[in-house]
Amino acid sequence: MPTEYAEVARAETERGELVLRTRREESAPEVLELRANGVFVMDTAETSTERALAAAALDLVDGPASVLVGGLGLGFTMREVLADPRVERCTVVELEQALVDWMRDGTIPHGPQVLADERLTVVVNDVALAFAEAGEVSYDLVLLDVDNGPGYLVHDENAELYRVPFLTAVRRVTRQALVVWSADTSAELEAALGEVFDDVRAVPYPVQLGARAETYWLYVARVAQENAAT
């Protein structure tokens, strides 16, 4: 049986086309898939890495009362953050209003339940602007998952999110740690993080995608606590 696709929703944005579709293969459950301008972003078949981004990051910090997630996706990183009872406030910054609407109206089936959490605030904005407007040391933890990493950009302009000026803005609002998800290693990202944060390490995360083994990466950048208020 060949793979079958069925479009669920489509939106034309300033940045191009956003498509939500189902994917069905023989002897496998139906999968929901998100694409931007034809580029695969994520699906519901393999969500362990999104959840691992949140779980690993939450384990790194002492009392993650306030968390900012850059990128909504299909909501799995956000849902993992909200599953932690220590989290008192979670802000998600998402560029595309259509994606938020699909979560809210049930086009993405698990969306309404997650968005109903009273600790959650969803901000529709460019993530760079959101950091520029945020107050100093506003968040214990920041998770950045707007692309498949600096080598696999959803939009070309996102390259700026992995460079020193933007990371400096992130450092200004981060009390404890920033964690960046990436599909591959990036020496440039690691070097840029090292210019801004006090301690940086790349953490491998192995996954099994069907018959194919892959390794994804979490880039962890920490703020030394003696510098947390500076």
Name the residue ranges covered by the structural domains of the chain: 4-42, 45-227
Q: What Å distances lie between residue 18 and 100, 124, 133, 226, CA to CA?
A: 12, 15, 26, 43
Instruction: Give burial (CB, 10 Å; 0-12/13-18/19+) of 213.
Output: exposed
Beta-ladder partners of 17 = 12
pLDDT in the model for residue 226: 65
Instruction: Give burial (CB, 10 Å; 0-12/13-18/19+) of 152.
Output: middle
43 vs 4: CA distance, rounded Å: 15
4's CB contacts (< 8 A; 6+ apart) are 23, 24, 25
pLDDT in the model for residue 50: 75
- Residue 29's CB: how many other CB atoms inside 10 A? 8
pLDDT in the model for residue 174: 94
Q: Side chain identity at 85, as an amino acid letter?
A: P
CATH homologous superfamily of 45-227 equals Vaccinia Virus protein VP39 (3.40.50.150)
pLDDT tens digits, the chain, 230 residues: what are they? 678 999 999 999 998 999 999 998 877 788 999 999 988 888 888 777 777 778 888 988 888 999 999 999 899 999 999 999 999 999 999 999 999 999 999 999 999 999 999 999 999 999 989 988 888 888 999 999 887 788 888 888 889 999 999 999 999 999 999 999 888 999 999 999 999 999 999 988 887 666 778 888 889 999 987 666 54
pLDDT in the model for residue 146: 85
1 vs 105: CA distance, rounded Å: 32
